[in-house]
Structure 1
């Protein structure tokens, strides 16, 4: 057990040394590659302005997303009315979509319970 602890300490020390040598170079390169996204001057006021722009831009996109949602609902209604013309491929895609939604629901439930499968807390 002590040897594994020493190995872990050694690996952590090597990683720290690597980051201390190459971290600033990586940081500078990253900023240089993405300089078109950096706002000048970097002030609190500019950050507040950008956060408000993001919020209101998202708010303004709600009607378009709502319209897209209702188009999808109308498409599903149309498919249901003409279900006798439905192809096997379309039914398979719908079944896979339903299965994916169910799987995400189950995963969310497991995460919500703290990654326990039974929900029992000892």
Structure 2
């Protein structure tokens, strides 16, 4: 166990050295590659305009997302109507998905309480 810890520590040190040595070049390369997305003269007015564009673009996408949601609901309804034809694999995937959602809910509750393990979830 201690040898694994030392190996992991040495790997972390190597990764840190690599990032320190090549991080600045990667940053410059990334900015150069994506400079057409950067606003040249960032003013308060331009930032306000961009935030409004983002907000209203997302607001305009709600009907499309709502339609996709109702298609998914209809698909689940059809699956439920024909549940006798459901395979074990499909039921297992659905059960795992439900378990994953519950675990994320529990993890969110624990994080929201400041990483304290109190309450009735244990």
TM over 0.5: yes
Aligned length: 102
Measured after TM superposition, the shift of residue 106 of structure 1 is 0.6
Partner Cα distance (2:95, 2:86) in 1: 13
Measured after TM superposition, the shift of residue 27 of structure 1 is 4.9
SS state at 1:70 partner: helix
What corresponds to 2:59 in structure 1?
59
Measured after TM superposition, the shift of residue 24 of structure 1 is 6.4
What corresponds to 1:88 in structure 2?
88
Measured after TM superposition, the shift of residue 112 of structure 1 is 1.4
RMSD, aligned CA: 2.4
Q: TM-score, normalised by structure 2?
A: 0.72
Question: Structure 1: which 4+ aligned runs deviate by more than 2 Å?
Answer: 21-31
Structure 2: runs of 5 or more not aligned: 1-15
Which fold has the larger relative contact order, with Cα–Cα distance below 8 Å and residues 6 or more apart in sequence? 2
Partner Cα distance (1:69, 1:31) in 2: 37
Q: TM-score, normalised by structure 1?
A: 0.72
Measured after TM superposition, the shift of residue 88 of structure 1 is 1.1
Structure 1: runs of 5 or more not aligned: 1-14
Mark the structure with the bigger radius of gyration: 1
- Given the superposition, is the C-alpha separation of residues 41 and 118 from structure 1 closer, same or farther in structure 2, using an over 3 Å criterion? same
SS state at 1:39 partner: coil
